[in-house]
Amino acid sequence: MEDHVTHRRVVILGGGFAGLFAVRALRSAPVEVTLVDSCAHHLFQPLLYQCASGILSEGQIAQPLRAVLRRHPQVRCLLATATDVDAAGRTVRATRPDGGALELPYDDLIVGIGVRQSYFGHDEFAPFAPGMKTLEDALAVRTKLYQAFEMAEASTDPQERAQWLTFALVGGGPTGVELAGQIREIAGHTLEREFSTIDPGQARVLLFDGSDGVLGAFGPVLSRRAARTLDTLGVEVHLESIVTQVDDRGLTARHKSGGVQRVEARTVFWTAGIEAPPLATALARATGAEQDRAGRIRVQPDLTIAGHPEIRVVGDLMSLDKLPGLAEVAMQSGAYAGRRIRHAIEGRTRRPRPFRYLDMGSAAYISRGRAVVKRGRFHASGLIGWLIWLFIHIVFLTGFRSRAGALLSWAVVFASGARRERAFTPAAPQISAAGTVTPPHPPADPAVVRHEPPRHA
């Protein structure tokens, strides 16, 4: 049997769900796998907002790739960013963190690098409204979130204080809804009685979305339930509103009716839209593949690129049958791609079945004890939805320590509202060569601000 088996070089781009499930599917195959990722960890992206809001630590949602793959001796992990593909020469070009170049030959290529935040052509919004796609993004959001309360406490100007206590989010999908709910819980419960001058519970949270409902992918029933839950929490939802301007003092939104609204908010988060990274364009150029409006690669039913059966695109980067960008899609497509390669090595000549996604449902956490879950015609919300959400995320968290730690953290939050992961590093002021100090957040009034100790009755 071994005489009929040939060793093949498989390069996998991306250590997310798609990449890891492809590796697992290749575990028993006689292949040499090279896994390339710009990060040295596997990130559980669905829980990024919980890291940002202080429920979970970085280590509970991110595991070192080498530790995750320690039982896969045929896998070589490389810390690098793939930049181009030579389809004719079957080579991937990548750049190491130190700038060094790598060339990785392959017999089979699996591309699962995911997508990045899209500002819909307004990248100038990014410095003022961070997105949340990476671990670094989550930590930046945490800093911006908790620092806002500190800045409000230090301010003596009522208008400026109100601006610091106003949080605006752009995007009513799962991330926007989840983060909006978390901010209201932080303001109303976590930070209660911790400040001397301000009342965190008075913080405003505004959620903007261009559609006519939040969580549109969950259907109208759960969308309305989620909207009611957000309203109960105190989140101000602004639907059919397109954000047209973001700066360091807030945002401007245009309503479908034509009205324009200006919101003074020192803290804006961007949770809307995705786009393919530059490698997708390079891959399309090298293979002649088509791209959709977001730049994702259109693939054949077997996840290969037309004319290139050796290249498979999986996960969020693939465009096929309008499949959503969910972790389950990434897992199943990665596993499918790995199996197809293994079957080819084993000499199975039967025509492979096309990829079929098994819908395992969608879930979104809104607040303590409240979540929405959808699977086909099955809908659940409230406490039942939250329990289902809890089970799903415990099952898919990578590593026993991550699961145990997450369960403990969720128990603490559910019982008391306290959050143990609130450490952040404040943005430092910039000092020019002439010695001029520019604060990262200039005060509304350039005059010197005098602080007096709070007076208690």
Per annotation, catalytic residue among 2, 150, 178, 275:
178
Q: Give the integer Cα–Cα distance in Å for 230 and 210.
A: 17
As given in the structure block, the two tokens for residue 338 are 């790995």
How many Å from the N-terminal Cα to the C-terminal Cα in the chain?
86
In the chain, the amino acid numbered 318 is M
**Inter-residue long-range contacts of 399-407, CB under 8 Å, 24+ positions, other chains counted:** 399/63, 399/67, 399/68, 402/44, 402/59, 402/60, 402/61, 402/63, 405/56, 405/57, 405/59, 405/60, 406/47, 406/56, 406/60
Q: Which of 84, 245, 61, 224 is nearest to 136 (CA)?
A: 61
Residue 384, φ and ψ in degrees, nearest 5: -60, -45
Q: Give the integer Cα–Cα distance in Å for 184 and 233.
A: 7
Burial of 40 (0-12, 13-18, 19+ CB in 10 A): middle
Q: Give the integer Cα–Cα distance in Å for 182 and 53.
A: 6
Q: Which of 358, 311, 378, 370 is nearest to 107 (CA)?
A: 311
DSSP 8-state code for residue 316 = G
DSSP string, 418-456: --S-----PPPPEE-TT--EE-SS--SS-SPPP--PPP-
**Mapping DSSP to helix (H, G, I), strand (E, B) and coil, where does residue 104 land?**
strand
- Residue with structure tokens 């100090």? 437
Q: Is the dihedral of CA 261, 262, 264, 270 positive or negative?
A: positive
Q: Does residue 185 have an active-site annotation? A: no
CB–CB of 93/103 below 8 Å? yes
As given in the structure block, the two tokens for residue 48 are 């990024």
Where does 201-266 show beta strands of DSSP type E? Answer: 204-208, 235-238, 241-247, 250-255, 260-264
Helix pair angle (17-25, 327-345), 10° resolution: 30
> Which positions are annotated as active-site residues?
178
